[in-house]
Amino acid sequence: MDDIKVERLTKKFDEITAVDHISFTVGSGELFGLLGPNGAGKTTTLNMLSTLLRPTSGLAEVSGFDVTRNRDEVRRSIGIVFQEPALDSQLTGRENLEFHSMMYGMGREERRKKIAEVLALVELTEKAGVQVQNYSGGMKRRLEIARGLIHRPRVLFLDEPTLGLDAQTRRHIWDYIRKLNREQGVTIILTTHYMEEADYLCRRVAIMDHGGFAAIDTPEKLKELLGGDVVSLEVDGDLGALEAEFRSLDWVKKAKLHEETFSLTMERGDRRIPELVSVAQRAGVTVNSVNLRRPSLEDVFLHFTGKTIRESEASQAERNRAMMMAHRQRRGR
Amino acid sequence: MINLTAVYVLWLREMKRYFRAKSRILGSLAIPFFFLAFLGLGFNRMAVPGVAGSLNYIRYLVPGIVGMSLLFQSVFAGLSVLWDREFGFLKEIMVAPVSRVSIVLGRIAGGMTTALVQGLLVLAVSFLVGFRIASVPGILLALLFMVLVSTSFIGLGLIFASRIKDMQGYSIIMNFVVFPLFSCPGPSTRSATSLPGSGSFRTSTR
């Protein structure tokens, strides 16, 4: 059973196409990631799935309900943690949770029980009576995640759940998210532009760039597409001969020489290192250092979009600026 | 269709916010108070054209000032939607599985209560400058009109707030709506002074 079904979903703002004919499904109990730079269309996609935005065209269903025709049913079955904080800072943590659970029509007894439960989950029980304006960034984030869970949603959307948090809090939140998915069976869709986050958490990842999907698969499969591990050898001696030697090995997929360092792409690099060293020794070359790197999603992103995620963000910012200038000129006329 | 719990919880939130912001309560009392003190005491001896000679100017002025604070408080209710948008809380409200009608009603209920509290506080302050209530049925009728005035202006504020996304734009447009209303002596003070309970049923006829 699929909890999310999206077909050719599109959102246009004036001439700008924020989301461009994307299609995907997310199974029940799956942890699915939308990975991409800022401005790729991740948040717009979530906003359409959570009924905050109407799609321009295409179909989207959340737990079997259409997001444009059955908005109330969709709203009832989802929880969402927004990218920007969405708490009332003049209310206490508990009051924010009370507000939420009453909006979702929970009874007094159930409310009391669930609020205590989620507060314990995010370790905010002691701070529940404090006004949210006195919370730290991490505490606010945790409170929001707690709020997203009170009404036991089938599907939970997390929009950049760890954006701007310190490493320790991020780890904490990752563990909550995993626990939630495993123990409670909540279907989770999260967006992120942190590679390691998608890698660590998601069972499947869609790589998003300029409103469309560049690739969609498990992180492992995506990484395999790159041809395996990269072994770097820093050497001294007759480099030309060694390069020819490396190229003749059929399990070396790619061999590149940059100054005195060879970068070799191969599968199971860890098992091939001894062999590589002995090949080098036979060719009379000294190996000074060996480095094995497993491809990260960062490499995958680079592979599919031809840019690193940071470059892509920079060009997006440029695009936005150009768009704004054009807009101003048009208005000026 | 109308979810009473949602209306109640939105109202409750507004109450908590209002009574926690002491500066907001005191600050919004300051302007009516100065109006009363300076205008009221200053013009007390003057004969206002169209107002019967026997009528004390304070009695003529207080309902107008109450009306004015209702008006400003109601505009504030619309502005709070924009604040919620700015601070993200509006999204939390909008994804909730309640009808949009309940959300609007909750907003109106909350805004109306704060406006009413504010109006009554102004009325209390006006006792300091010598205002007196004429009759009990009169004050009840005045309350009814206060509810009507604030409800309709909150409604108007919400219409604008749901269309206009930026706060400055909203303030400018609402000023444009509100300011003539409260500064034109003819229609505005007439409607305000027709608030019964002040004892000034007679207003300028020109």
With CA atoms as reference, report the closest residue to A244 among A282, A287, A270: A282
CB-nearest partner of A91 from B16, B88, B96: B16
With CA atoms as reference, report the closest residue to B61 among B2, B129, B117: B129
Residue B67 lies in a domain: yes
For chain A, the average pLDDT equals 86
CB-nearest partner of B88 from A85, A99, A100: A85
CB-nearest partner of A88 from B13, B94, B98: B13
Percent of chain A with pLDDT over 90: 35
The residue ranking higher by pLDDT, A320 or A260, is A260
What does the pLDDT read at residue A331? 54
What does the pLDDT read at residue B186? 42
Average pLDDT over residues A133-154: 88
Helix ranges (H only) for B95-135 are 100-128
CA distance B70 to B87: 25
Residue B48 lies in a domain: no
What does the pLDDT read at residue A297? 77
Residue B205 lies in a domain: no
CB-nearest partner of B91 from A52, A98, A102: A52
**Tokens at A259, concatenated:** 């100054």
Which positions in chain B touch A98 (Cβ < 8 Å)?
9
Interface contact A200, partner B, CB < 8 A: no
At residue A158's C-alpha, the angle toward residues A152 and A162, to 5°, is 125
Nearest-CA distance B11 → chain A (Å): 11
Query: Which residue from A minimizes the CA distance to B100?
Result: A72
For chain B, the average pLDDT equals 80
Confidence at A201, pLDDT banded by 50, 70, 90: very high
Q: How far is CA A20 from the centre of its chain?
A: 19
What does the pLDDT read at residue A21? 92
Interface of B with A (CB under 8 A): 3, 5-6, 8-9, 12-13, 16-17, 20-21, 87-89, 91-99
What does the pLDDT read at residue A317? 66
Which positions in chain B touch A75 (Cβ < 8 Å)?
95-97
- Read off the pLDDT of residues A62-76 as tens digits, 9 standing for 90 and up: 999 999 999 989 998
- Read off the pLDDT of residues A239-262 as tens digits, 9 standing for 90 and up: 888 888 888 888 888 787 877 888
Residue B198 has pLDDT above 50, yes or no: no
- The count of domains in chain B is 1
What does the pLDDT read at residue B201? 37
What does the pLDDT read at residue A152? 82
Task: Specify the pairing of strand A155-159 against strand A187-192.
Answer: parallel
What does the pLDDT read at residue A298? 77
CB spacing of B91 vs A104 below 8 angstroms: no
What does the pLDDT read at residue A19? 92
- Read off the pLDDT of residues B24-76 as tens digits, 9 standing for 90 and up: 888 888 888 888 777 777 766 666 566 555 556 777 778 888 888 888 888 88
What b/e readout covers B48-87, taking b as 16+ CB neighbours within 10 angstroms? eeebeeebbbbbbbbbbbbbbbbbbbbbbbbbbbbebbeb
SS3 call for A145: helix
Residue A110 burial class via C-beta count within 10 angstroms: exposed 0-12, middle 13-18, buried 19 and up:
middle
> What is the CB neighbour count within 10 angstroms for residue A318?
10
N residues, chain A: 333
Write out the residue range of the structural domain in which residue B103 sits. Answer: 4-43+53-193
Which positions in chain B touch A73 (Cβ < 8 Å)?
97
CB spacing of A72 vs B95 below 8 angstroms: no
CB spacing of B17 vs A90 below 8 angstroms: yes
Which positions in chain B touch A157 (Cβ < 8 Å)?
none
Interface contact A212, partner B, CB < 8 A: no
Residue B200 lies in a domain: no
Looking at A104-108, A267-271, B59-63, which range is the least confident one? Answer: B59-63
CA distance B127 to A201: 65
Domains of chain A: 2-218 (3.40.50.300), 227-293 (3.30.70.100)
Residues 142-161 of chain A with CB under 8 A from chain B are 147
Confidence at B202, pLDDT banded by 50, 70, 90: very low
Q: B90, B92, B98: which to substitute to probe chain A, counting the most A Cβ within 10 Å?
A: B92
Which positions in chain A touch B97 (Cβ < 8 Å)?
72-73, 75-76, 103-105
CB spacing of A103 vs B16 below 8 angstroms: no
**Tokens at A24, concatenated:** 């995907």
What does the pLDDT read at residue A84? 84
Residue B205 has pLDDT above 50, yes or no: no
Report which listed range, A144-148, A201-205, B134-138, is most confident.
A201-205
Nearest-CA distance B173 → chain A (Å): 21
What does the pLDDT read at residue B203? 38
Q: Is the Cβ–Cβ distance between A213 and A198 less than 8 Å? A: no
Tell me the three-class secondary structure of B176-198, residue by residue: HHHHHHHHCHHHHHHHHHCCCCC
Average pLDDT over residues A28-39: 89
CB-nearest partner of B91 from A86, A91, A104: A86
Residue B98 lies in a domain: yes
Helix ranges (H only) for B35-166 are 41-43, 57-86, 89-94, 100-128, 136-163
Nearest-CA distance B163 → chain A (Å): 15
Residue B199 lies in a domain: no
Residue A197 has pLDDT above 50, yes or no: yes
CA distance A321 to B177: 36
What does the pLDDT read at residue B54? 52
Residue A146 has pLDDT above 80, yes or no: yes
Q: Is the Cβ–Cβ distance between A34 and A190 less than 8 Å? A: yes
What does the pLDDT read at residue A221? 86
What residue type is assigned to position B54 of the chain?
S
Average pLDDT over residues B156-181: 86
Residue B192 has pLDDT above 50, yes or no: no
What does the pLDDT read at residue A333? 43
Confidence at A49, pLDDT banded by 50, 70, 90: very high
With CA atoms as reference, report the closest residue to A189 among A75, A332, A24: A24
CB spacing of B13 vs A100 below 8 angstroms: no
At residue B194's C-alpha, the angle toward residues B193 and B195, to 5°, is 85
Q: What one-character DSSP code corresponds to residue B38?
A: I
- Read off the pLDDT of residues B70-107 as tens digits, 9 standing for 90 and up: 888 888 888 999 999 888 899 999 999 999 999 999 99
CA distance A149 to B153: 37
Residue B203 lies in a domain: no
Interface contact A134, partner B, CB < 8 A: no
Residue B169, CA distances (Å) to A83, A327, A329, B111, B150 in order = 26, 20, 22, 21, 22
Residue with tokens 């930026």: B166
CB spacing of A86 vs B89 below 8 angstroms: yes
Task: Specify the pairing of strand A254-258 against strand A286-293.
Answer: unpaired
What does the pLDDT read at residue A326? 62
Nearest-CA distance B114 → chain A (Å): 16
Average pLDDT over residues A12-20: 89
Query: Which residue from A minimizes the CA distance to B11?
Result: A99
